Structure 1
Amino acid sequence: MSYDFYYWFIMSSAFVVTNVIGVAIMYKTRRFLLSFLVSLFVNTAIFVAAGVWWAGLFEGFSRMFGLFGYGIAYVNIEVLLVFALFIMKKKQVPRPSNNL
């Protein structure tokens, strides 16, 4: 597998993991700030590790281009998650009851 595959795999898995965690916490706790901060921490941890990995592999234009792409993906993931959490907050979907 090439470095390109790993690059895009990290971006897509960061998107999925960050959004699933953020939405799950919002669904269970209904706390916007908590779900946003936890997902922000997870997203930051993923992209810092990915950025360190990428910076260790390349130098020059390839390094800067890859890190710039990671930066754009980081911001996009957080913006999309904030919109999703905001919609969930506005909708106030009723919690599932445990009474069977």
Structure 2
Amino acid sequence: MDLSAETVDAMAAGYETRKLERLTELRGVDVPVATAFLQFLEPERYSVMSDREWSALRTYGELSQSYPTAPGPAAYDRYLETCRTVADWCGWDLQTLYRAL
């Protein structure tokens, strides 16, 4: 996969929130697409977030709020922490949990 210089620069940001912010600054990249980039590049640390995965976690009582109308870094932090907790509880990695959701 050939990544643009902008994408590489966005991934070089130091913190999770900053990575997400930098990626969503790219034209056409919203939070679900940005989280897909994060998962593709570091599947052991990140998981894709969309309304589908969020809704599955909410259905089973792991998230109390509905999927945000305009998801941002704070929502992703909450989602990712929940995913890490559930994955640990199941003995799975984040990629396996994502596929299950």
TM range (shorter): under 0.3
Please say which structure displays the higher CA radius of gyration.
Answer: 1
TM-score of the superposition, structure 2-length normalised?
0.24
Q: Which has the higher helix share?
A: 1
